[in-house]
Structure 1
Amino acid sequence: MSRFARFRRPLAVALLSSVLVGCSASTASTDRVDEALPELTAFYDQKLDYGSCAGFATTDRDVKAFANKQLQCARLTVPLDYGNPKGRTIQLGVLKVAATGEPKGSLVVNPGGPASSGMSFAAQLKDFKGYPRIARQFDVVGFDMRGTGASTPSVDCLTDAERRNDLLMAINLFGGETWTENETRRVAASCADGSGGADVISHLGSRDTARDMDLLRAVLGDEQLNYFGFSYGTRLGAVYAQTFPGKVRTMVLDGAMDPRLGIEKRMVDQYAGFQQAFDALATDCARAAGCPLGTDPAKATSRFQQLVRPLLDRPLPVGTDRRLTYRGAVEAVLFGLYHSTDWPTVVKALTELAAGQGRTLLAIRDGAHELQADGRYTNMLEGAFATHCNDRERLSPQQETAMRRQMQAAAPFLDDGRNRQARDICEHWPAGPSLTYPYVTDTDGLPPTLVVSVTGDPASPHQHGIGLAKTLGAGLLTVDGKQHGAALVAGNDCVDSIVATYLIDAKAAPADAHCAL
């Protein structure tokens, strides 16, 4: 698994999401907000008190990365509910990497997830080939979304023991096909109790986060926003563009979520993308001796099911105190499908599984869950779950079951053969939807933006990139390849040059631009 896999493919959780019913008007409204309301002036006028980043680290990796004295960190105070700015406030962790030259302003980045750490992403971008040109022109700024990472209060829905037992999945969240209504009710109550109250988890959706991002823009001293959003970050960027079109200078959206699509179409399309990636992996594997999926790619789905389905009833012991479950094995494979360079690791892991060993699959699963050396889990996936439940439309058990059967038909290698009834895992969330679909309906006043879309992206199908570009009236950079996303972190000169030139010059990218990985 690549060291920076998390940022190239932020777990697809965002892409398995959507909306609810009945939020406060301030959250659910799709009206544009072009200027700060007077009661928000104090928030917009605040100054960030930058200092050492050491106390902001929430992962083993960040402890090392944040020790870099060139990084600056601060806390941004925002209203919990923008409809009640005199009420409760919360704080967001913010990290800045100062420009190496004379800055044009800030570039705010979001790695997706949702809820992957924007602070960590900003700190690590310097290690990528595409970074130096941008770093000369912009202060690169990442923030941890409300409730996640270094932001407070912190989302907490499950114990570490429950996480170890795969109650929360990195790819498919709670797996609604196995949950009862009492369990969906319990997890919503547990999230509220562990996170500071129902009011906190009711304001963790994309609409509130887009308002946070505009407040951050102003506090950074930028008249207009420069933004790079990846995967779920494309949704956040699109919501911002709808809400604050006149405040956008440049916006790069990579690994797109199509704002026109509700959860049913989106998930079926994504599962079809996973099957396409699995079939391509199986074809590559079949050319080598000893392929665990066999020599006939047409039979790879059946062979995969033979390998993983026994884990449904008999999890595989790993070491003295761990076990590989069906859920853990499947999500590890899905996580590995996001980037073709990781496919050899998936093949190695499946070869081990065929021999009765699960160590590599479990290691991939643990990486997806951000398991730390001391056995602690970060709350990134719980933050993703909370965002998901604030953004998604509601489905009845009948609709949820029908959708999941369509998903399995689109990706038969993910069919566990149980054919169970399913429930909407967010059915008892205490708030309604922050979004309605489509969540972008008017792009008047929006300057040229840029969508980057990989033709063989397993989690963000290329047609979704085309749909987002059409909706925003954006330029489309099509990239031939088999991975989730391509800009800045893929090390591709063609992609990085087009992206950097657009961000620096704020001019539309070439029409029908094309690159290959």
Structure 2
Amino acid sequence: MTPPGPPLEPPPPGSDLPPLPSAEPRRAPRNAALVGLLVGVLVFAVAAAGFASWKLVDNSDPKAAPSPSPAITPTPSEPMPSTPTSLDRFYGQKLDWRKCGRDFCTHLEVPLDYANPSGKTLELAVLKVPAQSQRIGSLVVNPGGPGGSGISYAAAGSLQFGSVLSDHFDIVGFDPRGVGLSDPLKCLGTQGLDRVLAYDPDPDTPAEVAGMDQLMTEFGQSCLDNSGDLAKHVSTKEAAKDMDVLRAALGEAKLDYLGASYGTFLGATYAEEFPTHVGRFVLDGAVDPALSNTELSKQQGQGFETALRAYLKDCVDSGDCFLGRTVDQGLARIKKLLDDADAKPLSTGTDRPLTEGLALTGIFLPLYVKSFWPQLTSALKDAIEGHDGKALLDLSDQYASRGPNGYTDNAMDVLYAVNCLDHDDYVESKDVPKLIPSFEKAAPTFGRAFAYSTSSCSKWPIKSGERTTAIHAKGAPTIVVVGTTRDPATPLAWAQALAKELDSGTLITRDGDGHTGFQQGNTCVNEAVEAWLVSGTKPKPDLHC
């Protein structure tokens, strides 16, 4: 499967929308069997740019049988909620659906600044995959990011969401403000973003620290220079308000929602802002909004360390693991590879050598999906035994949506811009060394890099003053939270915490590897999620699958 082309500029209102990735034949976007989802709540230093989620669309467990269809119970019909008069023009708009491939496309108009609704507006691209039979309503979906395309996510249809949800819901995805086919945020060009992603993620000298700070200053300034006020208005709170406008435009009194990874933060933020508008919510691969940026970084580094150890245990248990006879030997071998790439980047046969930063993202990507572990083994063997970094570079490029002619979407730009607005509790780079011992204790392989990620927004020129806090969503109905025991990007502890913080949260735990739980080959999780969304049947308390 070839990756999609570069993001298209949204056409002016009233013109035909371009064909989207759902054009015939139905297929999953991104390469191979992946839906590419950037899911970084943190900004991971200058090299890794947050954490990416790559969701497998075909179940990796061959024993997993298709879920039986639960009884159909639509969300009870209720009057449409009232809205502020100043936003009537937005809440009252009628969507002009047009055929695009096998699906339907439209644009949603929202204010750039909700504090000034009579000012500039944005056009958000929306895609609907109609229910195949027995429609009960609309299910709005978000893949994560920030920066992931809801258009591409929804376009995968039953490949991504299974036949049960696709039969009964119109699957509706939108590109959030600044993303993809919506009015897109524009920051760095290809060369500039290449420099950011290749830079040393754990600088060793004052000059390297200064270089990291300078890169981030230039990055943020490029967003302002090329996108103006949009760079100031791509926060998660604003995206949540957009989602309520979408709810009304879809004609739904309550919002039914499935969000993955960062999409759980978006969904939880919506529930906090509009608790009485919440229908049936599933937050899969959850983020804990109560944590500071520093704690999020440390715990995420620990999550990747846990996933790496699981990969190495699998390698060792299989016999004749080239990385060593024990997990600790394997960790030491990989750490040496990263240190060697820091000292002298590996040749890749291209004009882009494999730096430590690129090697890190190349290692991270396969940890999201267990079926990609063999690719990681092959790439590591090439790098360690053959001193050839091409395979790891290719994995890193998949992580960052970089094609042979540049980046195929603007997800990395959005990732930084949103994170720096949402998490303005950065650490100055000069203070990072104080954090390193505790980070290295939590994540010996990745600790230093994740420690320096806490300073990524310190030089971002737009200061929002935002601090994330625990979300309770008082008054909302049951919200289902899903966590996975060895999830690298959103550790299980985050899902456990969010389920407790929400007044009406209930937790489903998947015992497994990889990122997120729904449609990952676990029939128990799939049936519980589908029963909740389709029939309103609550999962058993603290369900373990």
For Structure 1 versus Structure 2, the TM-score category normalised by the shorter chain is: 0.7 to 0.9
Residue in 2 aligned with 1:116? 148
Residue in 2 aligned with 1:155? 185
Residue in 2 aligned with 1:62? none
Structure 1: give runs of 5+ residues left out of the alignment. Answer: 19-33, 54-68
Instruction: Work out which of the residue numbers 124, 129, 134 in structure 2 matches 1:102.
Output: 134
Hey, what's the Cα distance between the residues in 2 that align with 1:250 and 1:177? 46
Deviation of 1:436 (Å)? 3.0
Hey, what's the Cα distance between the residues in 2 that align with 1:288 and 1:514? 27
Counterparts of 1:464-479 in structure 2, within 5 Å, are: 464-472=494-502, 473-479=504-510
Deviation of 1:314 (Å)? 2.0
Deviation of 1:35 (Å)? 4.0
SS of alignment partner, residue 48 of structure 1: coil
Report the residue type matching 1:402 in the other structure: K
After superposition, the C-alpha distances for 1:285-306 in whole angstroms (9 at most, x for unaligned) are 2234553421122222221122
Q: CA distance change for structure 1 residues 396 and 260 in 2, over 3 Å: closer, same or farther?
A: closer
Deviation of 1:503 (Å)? 0.5
Residue in 2 aligned with 1:241? 271
| Maintained 8 Å contact 2:293/2:454 | no
Residue in 1 aligned with 2:536? 506
Matched, 1:381 2:412: yes
Hey, what's the Cα distance between the residues in 2 that align with 1:419 and 1:225? 38
Q: CA distance change for structure 1 residues 474 and 255 in 2, over 3 Å: closer, same or farther?
A: same
Hey, what's the Cα distance between the residues in 2 that align with 1:147 and 1:401? 34
Residue in 2 aligned with 1:14? 41
| Maintained 8 Å contact 2:284/2:481 | yes
Report the residue type matching 2:115 in the other structure: G
SS of alignment partner, residue 170 of structure 2: strand
| Maintained 8 Å contact 1:111/1:230 | yes
Hey, what's the Cα distance between the residues in 2 that align with 1:149 and 1:404? 36
Q: CA distance change for structure 1 residues 313 and 494 in 2, over 3 Å: closer, same or farther?
A: same
Residue in 2 aligned with 1:168? 197
After superposition, the C-alpha distances for 1:131-180 in whole angstroms (9 at most, x for unaligned) are 2111221110001111111011x212211112333x13799799995645
Q: CA distance change for structure 1 residues 17 and 84 in 2, over 3 Å: closer, same or farther?
A: farther
Hey, what's the Cα distance between the residues in 2 that align with 1:279 and 1:484? 15
| Maintained 8 Å contact 1:316/1:358 | yes
| Maintained 8 Å contact 2:149/2:179 | yes
Q: CA distance change for structure 1 residues 244 and 174 in 2, over 3 Å: closer, same or farther?
A: farther
Hey, what's the Cα distance between the residues in 2 that align with 1:95 and 1:85? 24
Deviation of 1:220 (Å)? 0.6
| Maintained 8 Å contact 1:250/1:449 | yes
Report the residue type matching 2:197 in the other structure: L
Counterparts of 1:224-303 in structure 2, within 5 Å, are: 224-288=254-318, 291-303=321-333
Structure 2: give runs of 5+ residues left out of the alignment. Answer: 1-29, 46-80
| Maintained 8 Å contact 2:289/2:469 | yes
Hey, what's the Cα distance between the residues in 2 that align with 1:384 and 1:419? 18
Residue in 2 aligned with 1:139? 170
Residue in 1 aligned with 2:367? 337
**What's the TM-score, normalizing by structure 2?**
0.81
Q: CA distance change for structure 1 residues 326 and 173 in 2, over 3 Å: closer, same or farther?
A: closer
Deviation of 1:317 (Å)? 2.2
Residue in 2 aligned with 1:39? 86
Instruction: Work out which of the residue numbers 358, 361, 367 in structure 1 matches 2:398.
Output: 367
Tell which deviates more after alignment, 223-232 or 391-400.
391-400
Report the residue type matching 1:44 in the other structure: Y
Residue in 1 aligned with 2:77? none
Hey, what's the Cα distance between the residues in 2 that align with 1:237 and 1:256? 10
Deviation of 1:507 (Å)? 3.8
Number of aligned pairs?
A: 475
Residue in 2 aligned with 1:390? 421
Hey, what's the Cα distance between the residues in 1 that align with 2:522 and 2:96? 36
Report the residue type matching 1:155 in the other structure: L
Deviation of 1:15 (Å)? 4.4
Q: CA distance change for structure 1 residues 178 and 477 in 2, over 3 Å: closer, same or farther?
A: farther
Deviation of 1:115 (Å)? 1.2
Hey, what's the Cα distance between the residues in 2 that align with 1:377 and 1:90? 22
Report the residue type matching 2:477 in the other structure: P
Deviation of 1:425 (Å)? 2.8
Residue in 2 aligned with 1:429? 461
| Maintained 8 Å contact 1:79/1:89 | yes
Identity of aligned residues (%): 34
| Maintained 8 Å contact 1:77/1:91 | yes
Q: CA distance change for structure 1 residues 418 and 365 in 2, over 3 Å: closer, same or farther?
A: closer
| Maintained 8 Å contact 1:448/1:507 | no
Residue in 2 aligned with 1:408? 440
SS of alignment partner, residue 486 of structure 2: coil
Residue in 2 aligned with 1:184? 216
Tell which deviates more after alignment, 224-233 or 392-401.
392-401
Q: CA distance change for structure 1 residues 171 and 131 in 2, over 3 Å: closer, same or farther?
A: farther
Deviation of 1:96 (Å)? 0.4
Residue in 1 aligned with 2:95? 48
Q: CA distance change for structure 1 residues 280 and 17 in 2, over 3 Å: closer, same or farther?
A: closer
Counterparts of 1:436-515 in structure 2, within 5 Å, are: 436-440=467-471, 442-472=472-502, 473-487=504-518, 489-515=519-545
**What's the TM-score, normalizing by structure 1?**
0.85
